[in-house]
Amino acid sequence: MIGRKKTGSEVGVFVRKSTGLVKNVSFLDSISLNIGDMSAGAALATIGFTTILLSSMAGINLVYASLIAFVLSIPQIIVYTIMNRKVHRTGGDYIWTSRVFGGLFGGSLAFMGYSLETLAYLALIALSTVFAIGSVGVALGNMGFLGLALPGNTPGAEPVLQFIVAAVIFAILILVNIFKPKAGYKIVTVSIILGIIILLLGILVLVLAGRAGVESYINSLSTQGLNETYSQIASSYTGSNFNFMSTLFMLPFFAIFVYPWINAAPGVSSEIKSRNGIRWAIPISSIIVLLLVTGGFAAMYYAGGLNFINAALSNSKLVYDYSFNFWTLAMGVSNSYLLSLIIGIGWILWDIAILAYGIIVFSRYIFAQAFDRFLPEKFAYISKRYGSPVVAHVFDLVVTLFLIGGAAFLYGPFSSLYGAVAAAMIYFIFIGIAATVYAIRYLVRGEKVTLAISGIIMALVFIFITYQFFAYPSIWGGNPLAYGYVVASFIAGVVLYEISKWRNAKKGIDISMAFKEIPPE
């Protein structure tokens, strides 16, 4: 039964009697991990590279889009909060889904939907970090950084340099997590805290600058090659302030970056020191990110006006040559080199925090799958000297570098990796179903009803978002790299399970038994 813990004498089916992981994660760390997972800073930075792909911004209201996306995520917040309290083990939702659906299907879903999908997302964020560095340099007046700021398929871009910078940053973070795992957590926490403070500073700068500040900044760009004034750009927008269906079209953007990503704290549950971290990290982090993302877009609209902001986000000159987004707008209206530099550093810190969180949580999912013998046992190896899952980290480095190269050289824009996120949307559908099954089997009264209904609604929400991904492939990253990666990762999961089952059967171990019990801590 999934609801029963193993006793010491029963553990033989698992790789060992305990994970070997240490409870080093504080309440603050658990919240920071989840905030890093939800990528508020990256969402505010990459909005232009997404909206530029749309045929029109008419009727799209990013503030309302953020609020709608959050409301639709509430059932998922309930599911993860209840399930994390009931089953807090390394690997989080992998444990829940594999115990409900079994190792073959449930394990393969998790391998596709989070483990390998995370590597595609980390590659996306690694390239986003490079674009952030380039954009900050350009915004500070150094046009030598333009080659880093432009997507790889744009004239003037330098994909080779982009790959090298992204690879070096990612490799350094991997090495930190291998040799100083405690420092890996602290990088996330410190980067998130500083990132939040600076994001709030950016919001304040925009609000204080107001319409006059935005108009002055854009008009100054018109004398530097933009060739359009604030008024000309604003007047080019012809849509309404809000159209529900048009705004709903932006749900995949928020699904890629923000509200579904609440599984970081559950992924390291067995390492969280306090009960508060297990109970409250998910709702607290979700509300904080709601305020940050919605507040960021609201500040842009307040200062620039919806007509101008929507028109600017679909203006190729502004988006590509001036990296127009929340961060660059705040830097532009600040009228201070020092303030602009601080805001730019905040943008880069957000990307670093996301990479740092992803490295930690990915290794825990891979570890959990190896601990169940779904993956080769080597992935469950914990260095006695450093206390880190070394093999899992090295695997992360190799695959992510391959994906960074594929996006940088073959497809240009990092949005070419958006399509790989569809794997996670499919996975979330089945997490909702798994939660409903768990509620029916093991819970009683009000808690049973709450979890079951939330699970069903969660599944329906992600069915709709998955449809959006596949219905509009030109916008949401539909290409052979992304879709091939999704299909190959699921097939790889099935093959790995069958190989593991066969190899362990020869040792007298039935690995299917692992998926009938909760693993030890």
> Which tens digits make up the pLDDT trace of 138-163?
888 888 888 887 766 667 778 888 88
What is the per-residue pLDDT for 2? 55
What is the per-residue pLDDT for 410? 61
The rounded distance, in Å, linking the Cα atoms of 476 and 22 is: 39
pLDDT-derived band at 416 (thresholds 50, 70, 90) equals low
The rounded distance, in Å, linking the Cα atoms of 521 and 493 is: 24
State which of 221-230, 262-271, 273-282, 460-469 shows the largest mean pLDDT.
460-469
3-class SS of residue 447: helix
Is residue 282 in a domain?
yes
pLDDT digits over 108-117, tens only? 999 998 888 8
Higher pLDDT, 15 or 516: 516
Whether the per-residue pLDDT at 275 is higher than 90: the answer is: no
Whether the per-residue pLDDT at 12 is higher than 80: the answer is: no
The enclosing H or E element of 80 equals helix 62-86
Say if CB 67 and CB 250 are below 8 A apart: no
Look at the chain and report how many structural domains it folds into: 1
pLDDT digits over 478-504, tens only? 778 788 888 999 999 999 999 999 999
What is the per-residue pLDDT for 7? 41
Higher pLDDT, 283 or 520: 283
Is residue 67 in a domain?
yes
Mean pLDDT of 193-215: 97
Mean pLDDT of 199-211: 97
What is the per-residue pLDDT for 9? 37
What is the per-residue pLDDT for 474? 80
Q: Which of 399, 405, 415, 35 lies closest to 190 in space, CA to CA? A: 35
The proportion of the chain whose per-residue pLDDT surpasses 70, expressed as a percent, equals: 95
pLDDT digits over 236-259, tens only? 998 899 999 999 999 999 998 999
pLDDT-derived band at 6 (thresholds 50, 70, 90) equals very low
Mean pLDDT of 43-53: 90
Is residue 344 in a domain?
yes
Helices (H) and strands (E) in the chain, counts: 23, 0
pLDDT-derived band at 51 (thresholds 50, 70, 90) equals very high
Whether the per-residue pLDDT at 463 is higher than 50: the answer is: yes
Whether the per-residue pLDDT at 8 is higher than 50: the answer is: no
Is residue 226 in a domain?
yes
Say if CB 370 and CB 90 are below 8 A apart: no
Residue 105, C-beta contacts closer than 8 angstroms, at least 6 positions apart = none
For the chain, the average pLDDT equals 89
The rounded distance, in Å, linking the Cα atoms of 342 and 177 is: 27
What is the per-residue pLDDT for 417? 67
CATH code of the domain in which 262 resides:
1.20.1740.10
The rounded distance, in Å, linking the Cα atoms of 232 and 219 is: 10
pLDDT-derived band at 430 (thresholds 50, 70, 90) equals very high
Is residue 363 in a domain?
yes
Whether the per-residue pLDDT at 219 is higher than 90: the answer is: yes
Whether the per-residue pLDDT at 77 is higher than 50: the answer is: yes
Whether the per-residue pLDDT at 473 is higher than 90: the answer is: no
Q: Which domain holds residue 423?
A: 20-502
Residue 97, C-beta contacts closer than 8 angstroms, at least 6 positions apart = 106, 109, 110, 427, 430, 431, 434
What is the per-residue pLDDT for 412? 53
Mean pLDDT of 386-401: 87
Mean pLDDT of 19-41: 85
Q: Which of 218, 222, 296 lies closest to 254 in space, CA to CA? A: 296
pLDDT digits over 328-380, tens only? 999 999 989 999 999 999 999 999 999 998 898 888 898 899 988 988 888 88
Average the pLDDT over each of 175-179, 278-282, 299-303, 386-390 and give the range with the smallest value.
Answer: 386-390
What is the per-residue pLDDT for 413? 53
pLDDT-derived band at 415 (thresholds 50, 70, 90) equals low
Is residue 492 in a domain?
yes
Is residue 10 in a domain?
no
Strand partners, 206: none
The rounded distance, in Å, linking the Cα atoms of 509 and 13 is: 6
What is the per-residue pLDDT for 482? 80
Whether the per-residue pLDDT at 313 is higher than 80: the answer is: yes
What is the per-residue pLDDT for 411? 47
Is residue 518 in a domain?
no
What is the per-residue pLDDT for 153? 65
What is the per-residue pLDDT for 414? 53
What is the per-residue pLDDT for 138? 86
Higher pLDDT, 300 or 17: 300
Type of residue at 83 = M
pLDDT-derived band at 131 (thresholds 50, 70, 90) equals confident
